[in-house]
Chains A and B, each alone.
Chain A
Amino acid sequence: MLVSVVKKLVRSVGVLLVVSFATFVLMYGNGPGIARGVLGTRASEADVRAEVVRLGLDKPLLVQYGDWLKGVVTGNLGDSFFTGQSVTSALSSRVPVTLTLIVLSLLLTAVASVLLGVAAAVRGGWIDRVVQFLSVLGAAVPAFIIAIGLVFAFAVSVRLLPATGYVSPDQSVSGWLKSVTLPVIALLIGSIANAAAQFRGAVLDTLSQDFVRTLRARGIPESRVVFRHVLRNAAGPGLTALSLQTLGLIGGAVIIEQVFALPGLGDLSNTSAQKGDVPLVMGCVLVTIVVVLVVNLLGDLVTAAVNPKARTR
């Protein structure tokens, strides 16, 4: 068990290096363009050239990447080319916002999709049809449109929740909950749709197996059959779907953060990538990779814990 976790960790570091290097390559080579972006359209050629050197953009690709890696290991992610703010401080104020959205959405998605999937599979009938219909709808309608609808309904027409902005929990817990409610619901709907369908399918499959008939024949209450035995066997595909959901959530968060003016990572990645603010982009990519890897690792661990058959040595 420990060996497989360590192997996964090593593989994760490998993924991190590959993806960060690929990002660096994509952003490389645009030194003068970035320098001119920093200095403005009226800068002279000489000023632009000096800025390129000052930002270290004239060094070869591997040297620049190596410098960045060195910085990562020592905890220094550099400073923004444009505002001079340290990347660490820019990230530290924004990561909690995006993490709140993603973690809350993941947790609520997990709970809701398990319950809905099980209800649909076990009860069948109208519940099943409604869940299937809502799954298709939720997957088809973009989170963006759902978000706009939610804002209109709950923030503008009825002043129940704030239309924009993020309140950090150390300022006010109730304010924090209010500010993330609508964004999280917008993200939820798409991801529940997906995961609920997965759980429903897996549970249906498992319910038709022989051991379930045997358990029932032994007189074990149906709720225990479902929640203790069936779910453990059906968890695999659903949990995989949930970890894959994280990618979708991170992408969805970019748009949701814009619509709700939340100062999160998605917004930062978007604007810094467009401007060519390499240190910030690399910082965002780093955090994103780490989040994805952690979630996937957790997903694997939970699957292994829940279902002994899924454990690998």
Chain B
Amino acid sequence: MRRTTRPAATAVTMTTALAALVALSGCTDASSTSGNAGGKGTLTLGMTQDIQGWDPVNQPSYQGWGAAAVYESPFRCDALGKPQPAAAKTWTFKSDNTGVTMHLRPGMKFSDGTPVNSAAVKEAVKYAATHGASTARFVGMQVSTPDDLTAVISTKPNPLLTARLCDLKLASPKYLASGNRNKAPVGSGPYTLDASATTGGSVYTFVKNDTYWDAKSFPYKKLVLKVITSETATINALKTGQIDGSLITQATYSQAKSSGLKIQTQPSEVARLLLTDHLGKKIPALGNVDVRRAMNMVFDKDAMAKNLFRGLATPTPQIFRPGSAAYVKDLKDPYPYDVEAAKALMKKAGYANGFSIEIPYLQGQNLDALMPVVEQQLGLLNIKVKQVTLSGPNAISELLSGKYPIPMWVLGNYGESRLDIADYILPDGIWNVMHQTDPTVAGLWKKVLTDNPQQSAKDQQAINRYVVDQAWFVPMVSTGTIYAYNSKLKVRKSTDPSGLHPLLWDFQ
């Protein structure tokens, strides 16, 4: 076959030219691709999950910077859950946890011009008690409005009243009644949503509200939240300055450190098994405290912290956060790593041959490394672990349904430890999936309901010691979230009572 060079040469030249053109289109103005986030008064933060609508009762505290930007609550809670002024300027709590009188700041307005007054607080409470997923927290809260700027809240004894009022987002009553809550927020926060620069699911832009009473705590004129679900994209955006900060995981921790980003870790979670069937209803063996104690003794917490969690964790025998009221300082681990002693306990309880259990597993919850270790170690006691993978929209409700008496999770803990007790230990706690009652806990909690702070700490610690002694959980390590940010940014140590990440006002 005769070969000619012309068509071939043309072909090759054209392809090369095309490639060069594509590459060259990137060569213009390279300076604008290097990070300009953070300059000129704009704070750009990455979010690993999207904002699910603007309904004030559906705002999560996890990555809730959007809600914090547009909504305000009666109080701001500090790192230990103590109330700080927000919409309420001053207040007086009743000593038996049955209510509070709040004096609102004068002159505050919602973004639609309506005033932030005691009627608005009343509407907000009424709305929260009848809409959304947390109505149980606000039902029974009565609000009276002796004057425009005074709201008096009364409830049955509720030691979590402060936490609830820090969570309650005030929105314009007109907006709440309009039925259009998910479209755009109408609050009284430090920023307002700029709909023209917002694309749902991708980027949310907020502009500073200059008349906000605490404008100086929010130095940035513009806030941009970018939704980046892939961790690869997140770390790349951080490294190239496209975002100023984001949550990352242990997977990209070393990358972040070596590219000069600053890191903040919050010890806010305890990886654990929850042995919720302490009455042995579904799994008779679990009704025996020796079995539960034995399960605690087969985990080498030091090795797990060092290897599984790459050193970003500390062994712990209790589920509460250091510094919180229920936390027992220097609590000696009553269940040191001792497989032989554990086997002896199992034999004593009559379960030398073990038993079978199912442990639910969900993707994307940092359980991947934990599950094989749990299977292996419990296997040493002849406890056969069957992993049940849950997925899809039903996963969480199945997990919490009580079908699986032993969930395994890296669960968060709060600066306000009464919230932990409510969620994990009380019979109606959502993570106490078998919802079994216990007279000792009930008796102590009844006292906590009306205790003053000092006595409350004593009683909460008594609850803590009790559940440790009764081995209601198998706590392994205390770990937390990792927040990486641009080294030029000034970020205070997080004041989040849930210990999740820096809050909007921590970015200075």
Contact = CB atoms under 8 A, between A and B. Distances in A.
Interface of A: 30, 32-34, 36-37, 39-44, 47, 82-85, 89-90, 93-94, 108, 111-112, 115-116, 118-119, 122-125, 127, 148, 151, 154-156, 159-166, 174-175, 177-178, 181, 184-185, 207, 216, 222-223, 226-227, 258-261, 263, 267-268, 271, 274-276
A199 B32 CA distance: 40
Contacts of B288: none
B15 A123 contact: no
Contacts of B25: 174, 177-178, 181
Contacts of B228: 164, 261
A34 B29 CA distance: 47
Interface in B1-54: 1-8, 10-12, 14-15, 18, 22-23, 25-30, 32-34, 50-53
Interface string B477-501: 0000000000000000000000000
A34 B32 contact: no
A42 B239 CA distance: 38
A98 B134 CA distance: 38
Interface stretch (B229-237, B380-388, B434-442): B229-237
B133 interface: yes
A47 B129 CA distance: 12
B146 interface: no
Contacts of A108: 18, 22
A42 B136 contact: yes
B220 to A, nearest CB: 19
> Do most interface residues of chain A lie in helix, strand or loop, or is the interface mixed?
helix
Contacts of B1: 124, 207
Contacts of B32: 175
B420 to A, nearest CB: 15
Contacts of B230: 258-259, 261
A37 B11 contact: no
Contact of B242 (A40, A42, A165, A268): A165
B200 A85 contact: yes
A30 B393 CA distance: 8
Contacts of B397: 32-33, 36, 41
Nearest to B229: A258
Nearest to A273: B392
A164 B37 CA distance: 13
Nearest to B236: A163
Given A85-B182, A119-B12, 10 more contacts: A47-B135, A90-B200, A118-B7, A123-B7, A127-B8, A162-B33, A185-B22, A258-B233, A263-B199, A263-B227
B242 A164 contact: yes
B178 to A, nearest CB: 12
Contacts, number: 193
Interface of B: 1-8, 10-12, 14-15, 18, 22-23, 25-30, 32-34, 50-53, 58, 132-136, 180-183, 199-203, 226-230, 232-234, 236-237, 239-240, 242, 392-394, 396-397, 400, 430
Contact of A148 (B133, B232, B240): B232
A164 B29 CA distance: 17
A228 B246 CA distance: 56
Contacts of B10: 223
Given A165-B242, A174-B28, A259-B230, A41 B396 contact: yes
B320 to A, nearest CB: 21
Contact of B233 (A127, A261, A274): A261
B454 to A, nearest CB: 31
26 contacts: A30-B394, A32-B394, A33-B393, A33-B397, A36-B397, A42-B134, A44-B135, A84-B182, A93-B199, A93-B200, A119-B7, A123-B11, A151-B232, A156-B240, A160-B26, A163-B233, A163-B242, A164-B228, A181-B25, A185-B22, A207-B1, A216-B2, A223-B4, A258-B233, A263-B203, A276-B393
A160 B6 contact: no
Contacts of B34: 159
A181 B239 contact: no
A27 B57 CA distance: 27
Contacts of A82: 52-53
Nearest to B200: A85
B199 A165 contact: no
A83 B200 contact: yes
Contacts of A119: 7-8, 11-12, 15
A93 B132 CA distance: 28
A111 to B, nearest CB: 7
A173 to B, nearest CB: 10
